[in-house]
């Protein structure tokens, strides 16, 4: 029998986890434990590289293609990538993946998996247990027994034992982010489960229900798939068609309106870690209740979450119930109780036009890393770290020119003048309208210090993503 197709959704932004999560590099692509560790996305994909599962399908915004490809490469995992030209919530993303699967495997069973949750326990066992129900045309929704009266989650109310499906309950109704009193009463009554966002069904079933409940959006997503562009490493949905689909979650568009849903109670530890207080709750803590990572000195402090880096020392003394998160360009200090309100900081930063809400100063890209060191109205100063065997492409369409100083390693620089070996101390200029490449031919990371100069009448552009040599390049993937 063909296995389950994991569909990993990568569309969230995680605004409450600023300054770790930014719109250009959101939560799911960050390390779980604040160190050089597995990311949320990698943990989700790796969890289902197992017996009974097919090669994963990744649904991702086109702007995050580079990081998805890099992180899949880092865990040596192949996947089918479906790129969205713009975000339309989970509904159209799930439908596009279902269309893709149904054309290749009429009986395909797909499991929808958010990429930014922490899960401990045997989720795969729970998924496999619901395969017969999915083959029978049911839509299985995986619910988690509440640990406390959470007001930030959705709930699935238990409708009693299901007569046709083993290990399943009927769905009575859905409750979205209830006030505390209702959440507390549901816990007392023991008749509701946290909605985990994990679901499973046949591809053709979700297509049928989507077509019945939102026929216009169904046709637009079908057109976006029919008119998609195919590349060696991904499929890109057609933008104009996809944009016309209604933006909404699968829950609201289908699950809450169909009679095919069943509730699958699932005995796992689950947390969507949507705020820093939740991060503290699921992290391993010291005897004083502190979670500490990075270069931190912590004295006479308790019940705090302190996430630093290796670039700067954080010293705390006599604090309690605080959240401290330090990144390369921003520092957050708040209390646990206020950590749900970080969105208010985002709103203020957006009003002020601050780039810290959009991107980190340091970016991990397919070829290596770009670290913004300084910037002004007329220039950007950036350190480029190119990994062995990788190629950095400089965009001929950029409206600025660059001065490149080669600092460490070895490599080959190519421009219209020809090919030359780069050695430490070499300096070269890439003028506006010129294309160039640098390939690291050594065994160590190569370092280039780049100054981007503004051309009269044009703004200095932020550093863009570049492709790995051998992969077809699109405009948004070059520097």
Answer whether residue 346 is part of any domain. no
What whole-number distance in Å separates Cα of residue 47 and Cα of residue 407? 40
Answer whether residue 356 is part of any domain. no
Answer whether residue 355 is part of any domain. no
Give residue 36's pLDDT: 59
Backbone torsions φ then ψ of 71, nearest 5 degrees:
-70, -30
Both tokens of 423, joined, read 């050695």
Give the residue with greater pLDDT, 208 vs 274: 208
| 265 and 395, same domain (yes or no) | no
Both tokens of 434, joined, read 């010129």
Answer whether residue 444 is part of any domain. yes
Both tokens of 366, joined, read 């397919």
User: What's the CATH code of the domain at 375?
Assistant: 2.60.120.10
Answer whether residue 322 is part of any domain. yes
Give residue 366's pLDDT: 75
| 304 and 254, same domain (yes or no) | no
What whole-number distance in Å separates Cα of residue 323 and Cα of residue 307? 8
| 408 and 312, same domain (yes or no) | no
| 174 and 258, same domain (yes or no) | yes
Averaged confidence pLDDT in the chain? 89
Least confident window among 96-100, 171-175, 415-419: 415-419
SS (H, E, C) 46-79: HHCCCCCECCCEEEEEHHHHHHHHHHHHHCCCCC
| 130 and 217, same domain (yes or no) | yes
Q: 83-87, 94-98, 375-379: which has the highest mean pLDDT?
A: 94-98
Answer whether residue 90 is part of any domain. yes
Helix-strand-coil percent breakdown of the chain, rounded to 5? 25, 35, 40
Query: Which tens digit of pLDDT belongs to each residue from 62-95?
Result: 988 888 998 999 899 999 999 999 999 999 999 9
Backbone torsions φ then ψ of 440, nearest 5 degrees:
-80, 110
Sign of CA dihedral 369, 374, 375, 380: negative
For the residues 121-131, what does the mean pLDDT come to? 96
Task: Determine the structural domain holding residue 86 and report its residue range.
Answer: 5-271
Q: Which residues of 410-437 are buried (b: 16+ CB within 10 A; e: fewer)?
A: bbebebeeeeeebeeeeebebeeebebb
| 303 and 235, same domain (yes or no) | no
Answer whether residue 349 is part of any domain. no
| 233 and 294, same domain (yes or no) | no
The residue among 271, 289, 309 that closes a domain is 271
Answer whether residue 101 is part of any domain. yes
Residue 195: closest CA among 253, 133, 129, 150: 150
Q: Which residues of 105-115 are buried (b: 16+ CB within 10 A; e: fewer)?
A: beebbbbbbbb
What whole-number distance in Å separates Cα of residue 109 and Cα of residue 135? 7
User: What's the CATH code of the domain at 56?
Assistant: 3.90.550.10
| 371 and 456, same domain (yes or no) | yes
Residue 35's pLDDT band (cuts 50, 70, 90): low
Query: Which tens digit of pLDDT belongs to each residue from 347-356?
Result: 998 888 888 8
Residue 32's pLDDT band (cuts 50, 70, 90): confident
What whole-number distance in Å separates Cα of residue 118 and Cα of residue 198? 12
Give residue 387's pLDDT: 93
Give the residues across from 413 on adjacent strands. 420, 438
The residue among 271, 296, 317 that closes a domain is 271
The residue among 271, 287, 304 that closes a domain is 271
| 318 and 410, same domain (yes or no) | no
Residue 205: closest CA among 167, 252, 255, 256: 255
Number of domains observed in the structure of the chain: 3
Sheet holding 411-415, edge to edge: 391-394, 436-440, 411-415, 418-422
For the residues 108-133, what does the mean pLDDT come to? 96
Do 134 and 126 contact (CB within 8 A), yes or no?
no
What whole-number distance in Å separates Cα of residue 349 and Cα of residue 453? 26
| 30 and 106, same domain (yes or no) | yes
| 179 and 88, same domain (yes or no) | yes
Sheet holding 379-386, edge to edge: 362-365, 368-375, 379-386, 446-454, 400-408, 427-430
What whole-number distance in Å separates Cα of residue 207 and Cα of residue 96? 9
Query: Which tens digit of pLDDT belongs to each residue from 439-462?
Result: 999 999 999 999 988 754 444 444
For the residues 3-23, what does the mean pLDDT come to? 88
| 448 and 379, same domain (yes or no) | yes
């Amino acid at each position: 029998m063909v296995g389950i197709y994991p569909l990993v959704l990568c569309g969230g932004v995680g605004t409450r986890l600023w300054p770790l999560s930014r719109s250009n590099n959101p939560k799911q692509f960050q390390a779980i434990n604040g160190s050089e560790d597995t990311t949320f996305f990698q943990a989700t994909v790796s969890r289902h590289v197992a017996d009974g599962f097919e090669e994963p399908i990744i649904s991702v915004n086109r702007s995050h293609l580079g990081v998805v490809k890099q992180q899949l490469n880092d865990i040596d995992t192949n996947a089918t990538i479906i790129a969205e030209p713009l975000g339309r919530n989970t509904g159209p993303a799930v439908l596009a993946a279902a269309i893709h699967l149904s054309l290749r495997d009429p009986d395909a069973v797909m499991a929808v998996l958010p990429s930014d949750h922490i899960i401990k326990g045997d989720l795969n066992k729970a998924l496999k247990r619901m395969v017969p129900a999915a083959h029978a045309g049911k839509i299985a929704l995986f619910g988690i027994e509440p640990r406390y009266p959470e007001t930030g989650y959705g709930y699935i109310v238990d409708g009693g034992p299901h007569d046709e499906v083993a290990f399943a309950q009927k769905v009575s109704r859905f409750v979205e982010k209830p006030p505390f009193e209702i959440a507390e009463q549901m816990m007392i009554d023991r008749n509701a489960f946290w909605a985990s966002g994990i679901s499973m069904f046949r591809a053709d079933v979700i297509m049928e229900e989507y077509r019945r409940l939102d026929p216009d959006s169904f046709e637009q997503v079908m057109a976006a798939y029919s008119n998609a562009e195919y590349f060696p490493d991904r499929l890109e949905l057609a933008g104009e068609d996809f944009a016309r689909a209604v933006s909404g979650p699968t829950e609201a568009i289908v699950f809450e309106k169909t009679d095919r849903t069943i509730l699958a109670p699932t005995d796992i530890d689950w947390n969507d870690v949507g705020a820093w207080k939740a991060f503290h709750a699921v992290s391993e803590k010291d005897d004083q209740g502190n979670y500490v990572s990075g270069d931190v000195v912590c004295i006479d402090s308790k019940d705090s979450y302190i996430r630093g880096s290796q670039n700067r020392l954080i010293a705390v003394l006599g604090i309690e119930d605080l959240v401290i998160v330090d990144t390369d360009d921003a520092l957050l200090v708040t209390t646990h109780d206020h950590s749900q309100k970080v969105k208010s900081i985002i709103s203020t930063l957006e009003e002020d036009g601050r780039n810290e809400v959009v991107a980190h100063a340091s970016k991990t890209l397919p070829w290596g890393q770009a670290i913004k060191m300084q910037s002004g109205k007329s220039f950007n100063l950036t350190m480029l770290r190119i990994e062995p065997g990788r190629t950095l492409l400089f965009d001929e369409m950029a409206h600025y020119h660059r001065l490149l100083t080669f600092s460490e390693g070895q490599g080959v620089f190519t421009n219209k003048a020809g090919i030359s070996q780069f050695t430490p101390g070499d300096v070269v200029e890439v003028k506006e309208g010129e294309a160039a490449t640098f390939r690291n031919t050594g065994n160590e990371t190569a370092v280039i210090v780049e100054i981007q100069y503004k051309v009269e009448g044009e703004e200095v552009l932020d550093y863009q993503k570049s492709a790995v040599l051998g992969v077809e390049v699109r405009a948004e993937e070059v520097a």
